[in-house]
Structure 1
Amino acid sequence: MASNPPAPAAPFVPSTEPFGFAGPSEEGPWEEWNPTEESLRPVRGRHRVAKQRGGGLARSSTVLGVGVIAAVGAGGMASANTGKPPVSISMPDLGSVGHMFGGSSDAAKGSATALSTVGVTTEETEQGAQDAGEALRDRIMAQAESQQVQVDSKAQTVTEAAIARQAEAAAAKAEKDAAAKAAAAKEKAEAAAKKAAEAARLAELAKEYRLPVVSYTITGTFGQAGSMWSSGYHTGLDFAAPTGTLIKAVHSGTVTQAGWAGSYGYRTVLTLDDGTELWFCHQSSISVSVGQKVSTGEVIGRVGATGNVTGPHLHLEVHPNGQAQAVDPMTWLRGKGLNP
C-alpha cells in the first residue's frame, strides 16, 4: 500500500499585520514555530534581539499590544483624574515591532512615541485639559470669593465701628448741648427770678421811701466838674423847682442838724436808722428842729435859693454811715425803688 509523502513545508513569510498578528491567507493555515536556543542567533549588540519566525511573533506581538493598551489606558486615566499634563514615555514604534527581530540595525533603532498619547484622541486630551482647567479655575474662584468675603467682613466691621464712634460722638455732643441749654435755661430762669425778687423788694421799699419833691427838673448830677464847687466837682443831685415847693422826708429818721450851713444855705440833715445821712440844702425855710423824728413823706422844709446857687433848687446829698465822702444820690434812690 503506497503512502503519500508529507507535504513540503511552506516558506516563512513575515506578517504584515499590525502588532505582529498573522491573519489567514489564501495559501492555508500556518504552523507555529517555536524557536530553540540552537536556532537563535547570538546577540550582537545591546539593543539588538534575535529574529523570530511564524506565529511566535504574532503571539509576542499580541502580548505586547495588550500591555501597550493597558499602559495607555492607565496613563490616560491618571492624566484625566489628576488634572496634570500627560507624561511622555518613549518606546519603540509599534509599526516597526514586526521588523525589530529582522536583524537590521535600522529596525533595531525604532522610533520614539509618547506612551501617554497612544490610543488617546485629541478630543479626549483637550477634554482632560479643560476639566483640569475648570477645576483649577473653580479653586481660584473659591479662594478669591473667600478672600473677598474676609475683606467685606473686615470692611463691614470697620464701617460699623466708625458708625458706632460717630453715634457716640453725636450722643455726647447732644448730651453736652442739652446740658448747656439746660444750664442756660436755668441761669436765665434764676436771673428772671432774681430780677422779679428785686423788683418785689424795691416795690416794698418804695412804700417806705419817696422822692423829696413832686414836680421838679434834674439840673445837676453827681460828679460834674466845675469851679462853682469847692471840691472841684458836684457832690449831689439838684432838683430844680419853684421857690416854696414842699420838701418831704425821703424815709423815716431823726433830724440831726437844721440851720445855716454857709455855701449850702439853709440845710436840714436827716439821719436814717441805718446811719445814712441825707442833706437837704438851699432851702428857703426849715419846718423841723434837731432831735425831731419824722416819717416818710413828712414835710421838712421848702425849696429856696440860699447859699451858693444860681437859682431855686433842692441840693440833695447822701453820706452813708455819716462819712464825709458823699455817694451818687441817683444810684442810692434807685436802689430804694425810686426813679428820679
Structure 2
Amino acid sequence: MASNRPAPEAPFVPSQRSTESFGYGSYRTDEGPWEEWNPTEESLTPVRGRHRVAKQRGGLARSSTVLGVGVIAAVGAGGMASANTGKPPVSISMPDLPSVGSLLSDDSGDSVKGSTTPLSGIGVTSADTAQGTTDAGEALRSRIMAQAEQQQDQVETKAAAAEAAAAEKAAADAAAKAEKEAEAKAAAAKKKAEEEAAKKAEAERLAELAKQYTLPTSSYTLTSTFGEAGSMWSSGYHTGLDFAAPTGTLIKAIHSGTITEAGWAGSYGYRTILTLDDGTELWFCHQSSISVSVGQKVTTGDVIGRVGATGNVTGPHLHLEVHPGGSADGIDPMAWLRGKGLTP
C-alpha cells in the first residue's frame, strides 16, 4: 500500500538571506527564511534508502495519523460494500504498524514490509462466508421449524381439548336426553298403568252395579234418543229414550226403589214413576197396563207393567225418562244407563 512520500528539503540560497536579524537578536544558520516550494512531478521522485526527517517529524506524524484514519475508513468502506453488494470478500493486507514512531526511526529498514495478516473479517474467503451463511441459515431454519412445530402442537392440543369438550358435552346431552326419555317413558307407563287400573276398577264397579241394575225391557229396538228435535213433541225435542217392543212386553224395575206414582198422565198415557234411594225418578210411560201401586217397594228386575201405545204415540213402545233429584228437566237416559254398567 502506498504512503506519503517525504518532502525534499528546499534549496538554500545564502545570497537571499536577509540582513536583518531573525529570532531573538541573532541569526541562526539552521533556520529560514525558506523559499516557496512548489512541488512538481520531477521534484516528487521517490526517496530510496535510509533518510532523516529531523525537522519535519511533526508533519510526518500528522500524515501518518491521516494514513491510519484512511486505512480504517477504507476497511469500513470495504466491509460496507461487501455487506451491501453481496460480492465475495477480498483479502486486504495491511503493513505492520506497531507505532508511528517506528516508521520515523532512523534504525528502520530500507523499506516497509507488508503483512498478510487480515485486519478484519473482510479477508475471509467466499467459501468460509458461504459455510458461515449456511450454518446460520440452518440454525435459523431449525429455530423456525421448532417454533412451527411448537405452534402446531399448541393448535393440536387446543383442538384435542375442544374435541374432548365437545364429546363430553355431547355425551352429557345424550345422557340427559336418555334420562328425559326414560322419565317420559316411565311417566307414560305409570299413567297407562293408572289408567288401566282405573278402567279395571270402573269395570268392576259397573259389574257390581250391573248386578243391581237391569234394562227395563227385552226384545226391543231403540227408535228415538234424547234431544231429537221434532214437532211431534210438545217441548220441541224428545225428552227421553224410546224402546219399541210389541204390546204386552214386560217392563221391569231398573233398580230397587219405591213406586211414587202409578196412573194416567195425559200425553204420557199410563205412567209409573219409580223413585230410587238417591232421589232419582225413573218415568215409565205409554204402558198398556200397570202392575204396581203407589208406595210399593220393588227390587231390581221386578215387573211393574207392560209395553203399550197409550197417550201421544205412533206405535207401541216404552218411553223412559230420568230426572235426577226429582227435577222437572230430565237427562239423557242412555248416558245414565251406561253409567250404571248397562248398554242399551
Q: Same fold (TM over 0.5)?
A: yes
TM-score (norm 1): 0.69
Pick one of 249, 252, 255 that aligns with 2:253: 249
The change in CA–CA distance for 1:285 and 1:335 in structure 2 (over 3 A counts) is same
- Hey, what's the Cα distance between the residues in 2 that align with 1:136 and 1:89? 28
Pick one of 221, 226, 241 that aligns with 2:225: 221
Measured against aligned partners, the alpha-carbon deviations of 1:198-247 in whole angstroms (never above 9, x if no partner) come to: 11111111111000111100011100111111111110000000000000
Paired residue total: 258
Match of 2:198 in 1: 194
Pick one of 41, 44, 63 that aligns with 2:52: 41
- Hey, what's the Cα distance between the residues in 1 that align with 2:91 and 2:159? 53
- Hey, what's the Cα distance between the residues in 1 that align with 2:165 and 2:92? 65
Per the TM alignment, residue 128 of structure 1 is displaced from its structure 2 partner at its CA by 2.1
- Hey, what's the Cα distance between the residues in 2 that align with 1:87 and 1:138? 27
Residue type of the alignment partner of 1:140: I
Match of 2:129 in 1: 125
Pick one of 230, 238, 241 that aligns with 2:242: 238
- Hey, what's the Cα distance between the residues in 1 that align with 2:126 and 2:238? 127
TM-score (norm 2): 0.68
Which moved further from structure 2: 261-270 or 132-141? 132-141
Residue type of the alignment partner of 2:304: I
Instruction: Report the secondary structure of 2:272's partner residue.
Output: strand
Per the TM alignment, residue 125 of structure 1 is displaced from its structure 2 partner at its CA by 2.8
- Hey, what's the Cα distance between the residues in 1 that align with 2:131 and 2:193? 89
- Hey, what's the Cα distance between the residues in 1 that align with 2:90 and 2:320? 131
Match of 1:182 in 2: 186
Instruction: Report the secondary structure of 2:223's partner residue.
Output: strand
The change in CA–CA distance for 1:116 and 1:138 in structure 2 (over 3 A counts) is same
Measured against aligned partners, the alpha-carbon deviations of 1:281-340 in whole angstroms (never above 9, x if no partner) come to: 000000000000011001000000000000000000000011111000000000001000
- Hey, what's the Cα distance between the residues in 2 that align with 1:176 and 1:114? 87
Match of 1:92 in 2: 94
Q: Is the 8 A contact 1:250 1:296 kept in 2?
A: yes
Residue type of the alignment partner of 2:121: S
Pick one of 200, 204, 211 that aligns with 2:208: 204
Residue type of the alignment partner of 1:171: A
Q: Is the 8 A contact 1:48 1:108 kept in 2?
A: no
Measured against aligned partners, the alpha-carbon deviations of 1:15-50 in whole angstroms (never above 9, x if no partner) come to: xxxxxxxxxxxxxxxxxxxxxxxx64225534459x
Match of 1:300 in 2: 304
- Hey, what's the Cα distance between the residues in 2 that align with 1:318 and 1:103? 158
- Hey, what's the Cα distance between the residues in 2 that align with 1:133 and 1:260? 128
Match of 1:115 in 2: 120
Pick one of 309, 312, 332 that aligns with 2:313: 309
- Hey, what's the Cα distance between the residues in 2 that align with 1:167 and 1:238? 66
- Hey, what's the Cα distance between the residues in 1 that align with 2:51 and 2:176? 107
Consecutive unaligned residues of structure 1, counting only runs of 5 or more, are 1-38, 50-85, 95-99
Q: Is the 8 A contact 1:89 1:115 kept in 2?
A: no
Residue type of the alignment partner of 1:154: K
Match of 1:143 in 2: 147
Instruction: Report the secondary structure of 2:312's partner residue.
Output: coil
- Hey, what's the Cα distance between the residues in 1 that align with 2:321 and 2:262? 15
- Hey, what's the Cα distance between the residues in 2 that align with 1:146 and 1:217? 95
The change in CA–CA distance for 1:127 and 1:281 in structure 2 (over 3 A counts) is same
The change in CA–CA distance for 1:238 and 1:126 in structure 2 (over 3 A counts) is same
Match of 2:292 in 1: 288
Residue type of the alignment partner of 1:257: E
Q: Is the 8 A contact 1:89 1:114 kept in 2?
A: no
The change in CA–CA distance for 1:48 and 1:114 in structure 2 (over 3 A counts) is closer
Q: Is the 8 A contact 1:286 1:301 kept in 2?
A: yes
Q: Is the 8 A contact 1:208 1:296 kept in 2?
A: yes
The change in CA–CA distance for 1:243 and 1:128 in structure 2 (over 3 A counts) is same
The change in CA–CA distance for 1:241 and 1:48 in structure 2 (over 3 A counts) is closer
- Hey, what's the Cα distance between the residues in 1 that align with 2:211 and 2:268? 30
